[in-house]
Amino acid sequence: MADFKDEISPQLVGALADELVRAWPEFPAAAFAGAAGDGLQRLELMARVHHVAAVLGRHLPGDFAAAAGVLDAALASPSFTSWMTLPCGFFATEYGSEQPELALPLLARLSPRFSSEGPVRPFIERYPDLTMGFVREWARDADERVRRLASETTRPRLPWAPRLELFIRDPSPVIELLDVLRDDPSEYVRRSVANSLNDISKDHPELAVATARRWQGAGGDHVQEVVRHGLRTLVKKGDPEALGVLGYERSAPVRLEDLVVKPASVAIGGGVELSFTLVAEGRPTPVVVDYLVYHAGARGARGARGAKVFKLTTRTLEPGKPQRIRRRHVFREVTVRRLYPGVQRIEVQVNGRVLGAADVELVEP
């Protein structure tokens, strides 16, 4: 599968040049394409984006208002879309930094072509009050992609972007936005709202739970799904308050039987089957079931690293009706997690409570 960085390619630069010269016949398309494509292949994704943005700065009009006019004119073309507009967003950030009243509306207009949450964030840090005024307007825009821009660009811990420390310290302006969008008709927007609440829960768990309870009390067709997704990190940690909001009782009368993990030894890259039985005692019991894997450290020590939590299932257990649950787990290395030989601990967690555990020996392939 191609890397994301290859989306910003010499071919895309050429297509962007064609769009801009249609919007502004004086645009030096050949010079831009040559400079923007030079050395591009050696760069990673965001370095490519910023490189193209810098070359745009040398070839668009030096007056930012005029340059913004060229990009606005390009938006008349449906072909001016997707990845080619991402460097244009960062151009607006870098060259419109002194003119936020022009740059921010331009970023909102670009966002339906490629979401502008990354380019907007530096304005939040530099002009928080001014920028949040625009963001509050975006939260009520007719276009779902602009409404999502409001919730996504204010996420305190947006992946692949610097954290917004002011919202990590005080997320109340973010919650004010999420209150508007919590039951948005667009799933695209609601997903962003839930992710933002999840970000907040990592630094302010009590506030996140209180917000979720308040949303439930206010009602709405989609609020429960937003709350469930927004509290997912707290649920994985077994937070009793978050579990209670979702209807799960930490001390629920459930027992685990016949936990089996086989084979007992597996090579890195191989898999094991995890199986066990859950039994409810006395009454129907809603459960959220996860399993935790404690990977061995570099020296093979068991539990040397924090647990990685994997979601298994949510269901209601009926008394007298044992339910067998199975899952295959593959010990596969990924970019952010290297695996080492040694004992790997697997724990089964039900409603935030560990009910059983087993060990697997991981060996070199």
- Give the pLDDT confidence of 76-99 residue by residue, as tens digits: 999 999 999 999 999 999 999 999
Give me the pLDDT at residue 1, please. 41
Residues in a beta bridge with 346: 293, 358
Residue 221 host element (H or E): none
Whose structure tokens read 């898999």? 271
pLDDT for 31-89, tens place per residue? 999 999 999 999 999 999 999 999 999 999 999 999 999 999 999 999 999 999 999 99
Cβ–Cβ under 8 Å, residues 268 and 339:
yes
Sheet-wide strand order for 265-267: 265-267, 353-363, 342-350, 285-294, 308-317
**pLDDT at residue 188 above 90?**
yes
59 sits in which H/E element = helix 45-59
CA dihedral of 128, 134, 140, 144, whole degrees rounded to 10: -90
Q: Which residue has the higher pLDDT, 336 or 135?
A: 135
- Using only the alpha carbons of the chain, give its radius of gyration: 25
Q: Is 159 exposed, middle or buried (0-12, 13-18, 19+ CB in 10 A)?
A: exposed
CA 47/CA 41 separation, integer angstroms? 10
Query: Residue 13 class from Cβ within 10 Å (0-12 exposed, 13-18 middle, 19+ buried)?
Result: buried
Closest CA to 57 of 68, 42, 46, 48: 68
Query: How confident is the model at residue 169, as a pLDDT?
Result: 98
- pLDDT band for position 302 (50/70/90)? low
Give residue for tokens 């907007």. 120
Secondary structure (3-state) at 2? coil
Confidence of residue 333 (pLDDT cuts 50, 70, 90): confident
pTM: 0.89
Mean pLDDT, rounded, for 316-330: 96
Cα(51)–Cα(49) distance, rounded to whole angstroms? 5
What are the structural domains of the chain?
4-245 (1.25.40.290), 254-363 (2.60.40.10)
Q: Calculate the CA 273 to chain-centre distance.
A: 29
Q: Are strands 342-350 and 308-317 parallel, antiparallel or unpaired?
A: unpaired
47 contact partners, CB below 8 Å, separation of at least 6: none
Q: pLDDT value at position 363?
A: 95
